Structure 1
C-alpha cells in the first residue's frame, strides 16, 4: 500500500508461502492476479506432522531418534521468561543431548556465537523462540518440536515446519499441546489442517483453510482476518463479486426468486441456546440446494433439539418454497391476504390441462399470474407447493437440435388462444 501511495501506476508482485486471509481473498475474488508455484526442489520429502501432548517421553523419543541418525533438533518455546524452566525440562528428558539456547532478547554478538556453534554441530538441540521462523536454512536439522503450538497462527506454524526438511532426509514436526480437550475450536482446526496438509507446496491450501476459519478481513482496511462465518462464505463471495463488477462498470445477475410471505421463520433461542448453532442452522437452511437437504436438516434438528417449534418449521417451509420457485423459474412470489402474485423469468411454457384446471388463477401479464387462496399459511402452503410443482412441469426444455425458433412474445400465454388466460 505504501508503494501505491508513492506512485499511482506501480506494479506490485507479492511472494508468499502462506498469504494472509485478506490477500488470498483479494486474489480469489479477482481483485488481484494470482499464480502459484507448485514444483518443489528435487529429492525433497514432505514433512511428517504429529499433534502430541507435551511429555518427557514424547520429547525424549523424538530427540533421540534424530540424534541416532546424526541430525539436529529445533525446540521452539515462544516464552523468554520460561525458557530456563524449559531448559531444565529438556535436560531431564534427554540428559545426553547437548543444548544451546537462543532468543531475540539476547545481544546480537551473543546470539551470533550461539548460532555459529549450532551450525558447527557443537550442540544437538537448539532451544529457541520463534526467531527461527524465517531465514534459516540448516540441512542437518530435520526435527522440530513446537511447544504450545495451539498459541501460534497457521502461517507461523507452517513457516516453523518449513525450517526442517531442507535436504533429502525425512523430516518430522511435533506440535505439542497441553491437551486436546483444552483447545479452542479454532486452535483445533488449525492444528488438524496442518496435520492433514503436510505435502510439499501445501501453503496455498493451508491459506485457503485459514480463510475459512478466520474470515477475509477488511479488504480496504487494516484487519487481516474477519468474521466471514457470520454471513456465510458463499454469501460473502456473492456480495464481493457484485461490488467488484459494479466498480468495473458491469453488473451481476442472479436468477434467485424474491419470496415475500406474511410469515417469518426463525430459530428460537430457548430451543437452540447457542448462537453459533443457530447461525449454522440459518446457513444450512439458506444454502440447501434440494428438498432432500431440508428434510435431512429437519430430521437432524428434531433428533438433536426435540420437536420443531412453529417458527423453526416455517423457516424450513420458506426454504422449501424458495427452492420450488427457483426450479419453476419464478422471479417474484408475493403472498398478501387471500392472493398470491407470481412473476416468472422469461421462458417458454406449455401450460398443461392440470395447471389450467386450477381454480382461482388469473393471468395478469405475459410473465405473471395471480392465485386466490384461503389466506391462512398453514392451510395454503401445501396447495401452493402443488401449484408450483404443476407449473414447473410446464416449462419447455431448450431446443437441442436444428434451427432455433423465434421466442413467442408472451411465454406464459403462448399456448392459450388469443394470448389471454382464463379468468
Structure 2
C-alpha cells in the first residue's frame, strides 16, 4: 500500500521545524515509531559548568568499565588545544582527534582506530553526528553546548547509548551568565527529554523555539515568535482547509475581565520571553484538559504554582467555556458574572429564555444582550467556583 500511494517518504528522529509543521498542519501525513530497540537504556543527561574535576571523574568512570568517550568541540581552530587538555585530564588514556578538514585517509584511519578500540577518547567536531554505531562509546562530553542547536544536540547525543550499558552525556557550558535565555531553554529541553524515542517531543520544542519557517519558501525556521505556535498553527490550518474546500470554523476569542489577581509572577518565571510564551499557550488552550497540561508543565519546570498562577489557570478554564458559547465578553466580580452575547453566539434563544424565567436562578437578560447572574451570599464566598457552575449551566443552552 505504501509503495503504491507514497511518492516521498521521510525518515527522521528530529524533523526540522518546517517538516514537522507540515505534518502537524495536515500538509503531510505523519506516523511514529516509538518502540526502542530491546535492552536500550535512556541516556542520563547533565547540564554543567566547565569543571575539570567533574570531567576527569566522568572520563575515569567510563574507562574503568572498559568504555570509550566522545569529547565534542565544534571549532576546528582550537580543537587541537582541547585535545591536549583532555589528554592532561586523563593521562592514562589514548586520545585521538577527528574533524572534517583532515585528509580523508587520515580521518578514516582515526575513526577505524577508535572503532577498533585503539583510542579511548575521541576529540572531535560534529562530524560524528550521524552514521556511527560504536557500542563501547557510552560517555559524551559536549563542550560549549550552548552554541549548538537543539536538534543537533539530540542527534549528537544519539551516538552513545547504542548498547545495553547506561550512557552519560555532559552538556558543558562556560558559566550560567554566559548562556542566553534561548540557549538555556534548548539545554533544559534536552535534559528533560531523555527517555527513548523522545525525538518527536524534542522536535516540537525546537519548532516552538525556532519557528516553523516558510511553507512554500526556502526558510526552514523562524516567523513564529510574534504570534506563538498555537496561533500560527491555527491560521495555517484554516488556510489548508480553505484550499481543500473544507468548511472553516473560526473561534470567537472573548474579552475576559475578572476581579482576581490572575497572572504569572515575574519571580516565578523570570525570563520575559518564556513568561509570554506560557501566556500565549494558556490564551490559546481549547479546553480544560489543555489548560491543566500547561499548568502541569509549569509545575515541572518552575515548581509549585503560586496563587496568582493557579488563579490564572482557573480563569483560562472559564475562557474555554465562554468561547464555546460564542459570547463576545465575560466579566466576573465578587457579586455577579456578565456575558455579552453577540450575533455570533451559539446559544438557542428559547433555551436562554427558559433559563432566565426560572425563579430559583437569578438570571437576567438586558436589551443590549447582556446575560447576567447575581451571586447569592453563599456563592460570594467562592465566586470563582460559583461562576464555573453557572457557565456550565449556560452551556446547556447551546444550539443543537
**TM-score normalized by structure 1?**
0.68
- 1:352 equivalenced with 2:349 (yes/no): no
Could you tell me how far 1:397 is from its partner in structure 2?
4.8
Query: Is the 1:352–1:394 contact (alpha carbons within 8 Å) kept by the matching residues of 2?
Result: no
Could you tell me how far 1:91 is from its partner in structure 2?
2.1
Could you tell me how far 1:184 is from its partner in structure 2?
1.0
| SS in structure 2 at match of 1:175 | strand
Q: Distance in 1 between matches of 2:274 and 2:21?
A: 26
Residue 139 of structure 2 aligns with which residue?
143
Q: Deviations over 1:310-369 (max 9, x none)?
A: xxxxxxx9x999889646x35567xxxxxx9842435142153489x999955xxxxxxx
- 1:116 equivalenced with 2:88 (yes/no): no
Q: Distance in 1 between matches of 2:26 and 2:235?
A: 13
Residue 383 of structure 2 aligns with which residue?
none
Query: Is the 1:155–1:207 contact (alpha carbons within 8 Å) kept by the matching residues of 2?
Result: yes
The equivalent position to 2:206 in structure 1, one of 190, 210, 222, is 210
Give the count of matched residue pairs: 337
Q: Which runs of 5+ in 2 are unaligned?
A: 256-270, 292-304, 310-314, 330-339, 375-386
Q: Aligned pair in 2 of structure 1 residues 248, 128: CA closer, same or farther (>3 Å)?
A: same
The equivalent position to 2:44 in structure 1, one of 44, 48, 70, is 48
Q: Aligned pair in 2 of structure 1 residues 330, 160: CA closer, same or farther (>3 Å)?
A: closer
Residue 126 of structure 1 aligns with which residue?
122
Residue 196 of structure 1 aligns with which residue?
192
Query: Is the 1:351–1:391 contact (alpha carbons within 8 Å) kept by the matching residues of 2?
Result: no
Residue 248 of structure 2 aligns with which residue?
252
Q: Deviations over 1:255-277 (max 9, x none)?
A: 52677xxxxxxxxxxxxxx9858
**TM-score normalized by structure 2?**
0.71
Residue 234 of structure 1 aligns with which residue?
230
| SS in structure 1 at match of 2:77 | coil
Residue 283 of structure 1 aligns with which residue?
280
Superposed, 1:13-412 pairs within 5 Å as 13-256=9-252, 276=273, 283=280, 286-287=283-284, 300=308, 326=323, 329-330=325-326, 342-343=342-343, 344-345=345-346, 347=348, 348-349=350-351, 350=354, 352-353=356-357, 361-362=366-367, 370=368, 397=397
Could you tell me how far 1:239 is from its partner in structure 2?
0.8
| SS in structure 1 at match of 2:225 | helix
| SS in structure 1 at match of 2:96 | strand
Could you tell me how far 1:172 is from its partner in structure 2?
1.2
Query: Is the 2:211–2:222 contact (alpha carbons within 8 Å) kept by the matching residues of 1?
Result: yes
Could you tell me how far 1:219 is from its partner in structure 2?
1.5
Query: Is the 2:365–2:371 contact (alpha carbons within 8 Å) kept by the matching residues of 1?
Result: no
Q: Deviations over 1:188-243 (max 9, x none)?
A: 11111111111111111111121122221212212222242321222222211110
Q: Which moved more, 1:244-253 or 1:38-47?
A: 38-47
Could you tell me how far 1:285 is from its partner in structure 2?
8.1
Query: Is the 1:230–1:279 contact (alpha carbons within 8 Å) kept by the matching residues of 2?
Result: no
